[in-house]
């Protein structure tokens, strides 16, 4: 989808080499230099990120959210480390020939103390533009590099990758002063909307002991996020959670059941749409937006705002897990 030009560089010559590369790229025709923000991507040797591990390419995201992409390949070494060991600059071109635009990318190899990274990033980011950190690794098992996150305004992550939900919530909750953007929370929009539809029907008991959430393996974090959302919106007592269990129906990826017996309302998601089933009424269907991973990440990058509902849901989950 893009033409990409890379050239080796050194830390001191990055801006110079980048300018030269831009001049080269624009020789063949007009190219708009597009930049909305700084997007910092930290890769560790373990991650093999992003294409192979996550299935999201940086180019695909940059095409939709043009940024100065700063890729830090960082190897954390406690002592005696040399710091940056190499750099490359690149320009990726997008769009049809008559409307070409391009984004710039800088990749730096670093080995050293985590604390050394801010000085590196500070030097590479474009001033006056917001800094977003995209953390595509499982932060429930790999520690976040605090010194990098502290520089940014926004932290984009995907809780679907969490192998340990409790630990993931604990880690992310510590960063709630940032604009948190969970791609998995975004995937829950249709489900949340369906629950609004479910609640708009006949009155039901929405206390936690009447609600069951079932999920398949990939939707475990979503199930917990839903529980946190309900707890925060409905002011459930702290430390109380609904029953969360593995889904028995193979066609169900996530479902919420409210009530018992004949008056049960069921909200069922098969991954493509969410259906709300009230007893004695025709079902309501809410489509799930067709959106690729890169679309979702770039859409989150587009919205620099404090998502109060997500923050509230995380806080509620944090209280639940702290109590247990």
Partner 1 sequence: MTDVSTERMPTIAERLADGEPAASAADPVTFVIFGGAGDLAHRKLLPALYNLQLDALLPPRVAIIGAGRGEMTDEQYRAFAKDGIEHFSRRPLDPHAWETFAESLFYAGVSIGDANALTTLGARLDVIEHERGLPGNRVYYLAIPPTLFVPTVRDLNQARFINRAADSPFGRVIVEKPIGRDLQSARQINDALAAVFDERQIYRIDHYLGKETVQNILVLRFANSIFEPLFNARHVDHVQITVAEEEGVGTRAGYYDQAGALRDMVQNHILQLASLVAMEPPRSLEADVIRDQKLEVLRSLRPITGDAVATCVVRAQYAPGFIGGVPAAGYVSEKGVAPNTRTETFVALKMFIDDWRWAGVPFFLRTGKRLPKRASEISVHLKRVPQILFNADPRSPLDPCILSIRIQPDEGFAFSINSKVPGTRARVYPVQMDFHYGSTFGGSTPEAYERLLLDVMIGDTTLFMRRDAVEAAWQWVMPILDYWSTATAMPLPTYDAGEWGPPEADRLIESSGRSWRQL
Residues that bind partner 1 (CB under 8 A): 32, 34, 36, 63-66, 94-95, 99, 101, 189-190, 192-197, 199-200, 203-204, 206, 230, 233-234, 272-273, 276, 281-290, 295, 298, 302, 308-309
* CB nearer partner 1, residue 149 or residue 254: 254
Nearer to partner 1, 189 or 244 (CB): 189
Separation between Cα atoms, residue 277 and residue 70, nearest integer Å = 47
- Take residue 233 and report the two structure tokens written for it: 């919106």
Q: Which is nearer to partner 1, 48 or 285 (CB)?
A: 285
Measured from the CB atom, is 142 or 196 closer to partner 1? Answer: 196
Angstrom distance (rounded) from CA 227 to CA 205: 15
| Residue where the block lists tokens 């004695």 | 280
Per-residue burial over 239-251, b = 16 or more CB atoms within 10 Å of its CB, e = otherwise: eebbebeebeeee
Copy the structure tokens of residue 315.
């806080």
CB of 32 to partner 1, least distance (A): 5
8 Å CB contact between 214 and 222: no
Beta carbon nearer to partner 1, 81 or 189: 189
For residues 167 and 193, which CB has a smaller minimum distance to partner 1 in the complex? Answer: 193
- Minimum CB separation of residue 36 from partner 1 in Å reads 6
The one-character DSSP state at 103 is E
Judged by CB, which is closer to partner 1: 63, or 72? 63
Cβ 265 to partner 1 shortest distance, Å: 11
- Taking the complex as a whole, the smallest distance from the CB of residue 313 to partner 1 amounts, in Å, to 11
Rank residues 34 and 111 by Cβ distance to partner 1 and give the closer one.
Answer: 34
CB of 323 to partner 1, least distance (A): 23
**Mind giving me the DSSP string for 173-193?**
HTTTTSEEEEHHHHHTHHHHH
CA distances from 317 to 221, 236, 264, 321, 322 (A): 11, 11, 25, 6, 8
**CA 227 vs CA 53, 83, 214, 221: distances in Å:** 28, 44, 11, 10
- Work out the number of other CB atoms within 10 angstroms of the CB of residue 235: 8
Taking the least distance from each CB to partner 1, the nearer of 162 and 236 is: 236
Q: Give the shortest CB-226-to-partner 1 separation in angstroms.
A: 11
101 Cβ contact list (under 8 Å, min separation 6): 31, 32, 33, 34, 66, 93, 94, 95
Closest approach, Cβ 72 to partner 1, in A, equals 24
As a whole number of Å, the end-to-end CA separation of the chain is 48
Closest distance to partner 1 from the beta carbon of 161 (Å): 23
Compute the least distance from the CB of residue 74 to partner 1, in Å. Answer: 28
Contact of 7 with 14, CB cutoff 8 Å: no
């Amino acid at each position: 989808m893009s033409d990409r030009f890379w050239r080796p560089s050194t830390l001191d010559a990055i801006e110079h080499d980048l300018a030269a590369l831009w001049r080269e790229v624009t020789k063949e025709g007009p190219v708009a230099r597009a930049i909305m923000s700084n997007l910092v991507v930290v890769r560790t040797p373990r991650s093999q990120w992003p294409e192979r591990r996550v299935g999201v390419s940086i180019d695909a995201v940059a095409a939709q959210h043009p940024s100065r992409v700063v890729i830090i390949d960082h190897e954390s070494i406690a002592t005696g480390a040399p710091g940056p060991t190499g750099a490359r600059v690149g320009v990726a071109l997008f769009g049809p020939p008559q409307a070409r635009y391009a984004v710039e990318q800088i990749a730096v190899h670093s080995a050293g103390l985590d604390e050394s990274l801010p000085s590196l990033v500070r030097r590479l980011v474009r001033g006056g533009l917001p800094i977003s950190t995209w953390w595509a690794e499982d932060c429930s098992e790999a520690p976040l590099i605090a010194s990098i996150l502290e520089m940014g305004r926004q932290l984009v992550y995907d809780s679907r990758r969490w192998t340990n939900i409790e630990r993931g919530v604990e880690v992310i909750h510590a960063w709630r002063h940032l604009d948190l953007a969970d791609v998995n929370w975004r995937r829950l929009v249709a489900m949340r909307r369906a629950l609004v539809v479910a609640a708009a029907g006949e009155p039901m008991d929405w206390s936690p002991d009447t609600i069951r959430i079932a999920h398949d393996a990939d939707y475990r974090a979503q199930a917990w996020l839903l529980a946190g959302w309900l707890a925060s919106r409905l002011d459930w007592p702290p430390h109380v959670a609904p029953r969360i269990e593995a889904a028995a129906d193979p066609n169900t990826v996530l479902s919420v059941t409210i009530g018992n017996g004949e008056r049960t309302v069921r909200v069922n998601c098969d991954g493509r749409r969410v259906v709300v089933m009230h007893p004695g009424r025709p079902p309501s269907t809410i489509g799930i937006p067709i959106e690729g991973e890169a679309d979702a990440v770039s859409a989150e990058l587009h919205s620099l705002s404090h998502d109060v509902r997500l923050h509230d849901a995380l806080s509620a989950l944090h209280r639940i897990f702290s109590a247990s």
